[in-house]
Amino acid sequence: MTASLKRRHFMVASVAAGFALAVQPISAQTITTPGDGLTEGFVEIPTFDRPIPAYRALPTQVSGSLPVVLVVQEIFGVHAHIQDICRRLARLGYLAIAPEMFYRQGDVSQLSSIDQIRAIVARVSDAQVFADLDAAVLWAKDHGGDPGRVGVTGFCWGGRITWLYAAHNPQVRAGVAWYGRLVGEETPLTPKHPVDIGASLTVPVLGLYGGQDAGIPLETVEQMRQALAQGTTPSEIVVYPDAPHAFYADYRPSYRPDAAADGWNRLQSWFKTYGVS
């Protein structure tokens, strides 16, 4: 492991005891999934230009290769909640892996200002993200994962990426996007958005959205539905009428247990139906 990655690994590991500074204080409803029976923790993934850290979790006792789920973070990084989601998936029999998507641009876990975090995230290109997720799939293949059974799920910032990555990598069998933005400005770093690829999408993606999401207007959800209707995949979008943004984030006040549980059940069914599990 390189010296710089060792330093980064130490910083990430220190945050593993808690959460990104920007999301303090943490809700009393926070779920903690135990790691017993799992192999879990941070690893180093080789990528196109340098190694990056990623959190991975998988069952310790396995026979044969495991289905792989890429877990794409929120803007707050791979903090305790994203790690816990990996453990939840591992307990369902997956090799779940969450690469640090902003590693080259900065350590968002140490920032307490949303504006500072957004300044870092704004420098991250979709091309970089796709390449790092591709590298995670290759890493998983060499560490017990089945490259023929790959799923992707992401939250908020990662929800947008989920739609786009499903269109990027033909190895992906299915995706579940949690409240990711669907429309946006075309820029050199973000040349397309989910609504732009909806009609041509060949991978089934389930979108989970909140009817009270102040940052994702329902008009844009309807635009995405119309784009999907022009294509041939069985992709669909579910809207929880009373749920706000980040309704699955049990560490935040936005958490809505009923919508979160229903979405999680739908994720499991979706991956099973479309050949990930």
Q: What is the DSSP string of 147-195?
A: EEEEEEEEETHHHHHHHHHHHH-TTEEEEEEES--------SS----HH
pLDDT of residue 3: 47
Residue 8 DSSP class? H
Residue 46, strand partner residues: 51
CA distances from 184 to 129, 179, 180, 181, 199 (A): 17, 14, 11, 8, 17
pLDDT of residue 17: 45
CA 193, CA 198: separation in Å to the nearest integer?
9
pLDDT of residue 2: 52
User: Are residues 49 and 272 in contact, defined by beta-carbon separation less than 8 angstroms?
Assistant: no
Closest to 19 in 3D by CA, of 72, 86, 100, 83: 83
* Run of H or E residues at 95: strand 95-99
Total number of residues shown for the chain: 277
Q: Which residues are catalytic?
A: 156, 213, 245
Segments of the chain scoring below 70 in pLDDT: 1-18
pLDDT of residue 186: 96
User: Are residues 203 and 233 in contact, defined by beta-carbon separation less than 8 angstroms?
Assistant: yes
Instruction: Render the burial of 148-176: b for 16+ CB within 10 Å, e for the rest.
Output: ebbbbbbbbbbbbbbbbbbbbbebbbbbb
**CA-atom Rg of the chain in angstroms:** 17
Domain boundaries, the chain: 3-273
Residue 65, both tokens: 């290769």
Burial of 134 from C-beta contacts in 10 A (0-12 / 13-18 / 19+):
middle
pLDDT of residue 7: 42
pLDDT of residue 125: 98
The CATH class given to the 3-273 domain equals alpha beta
Residue 177, strand partner residues: 154, 207
Question: Tokens 């970089």 — which residue?
Answer: 128
**Cβ contacts of 76 within 8 Å, gap of 6 or more:** 19, 20, 22, 23, 108, 109, 117
* Run of H or E residues at 71: strand 66-72
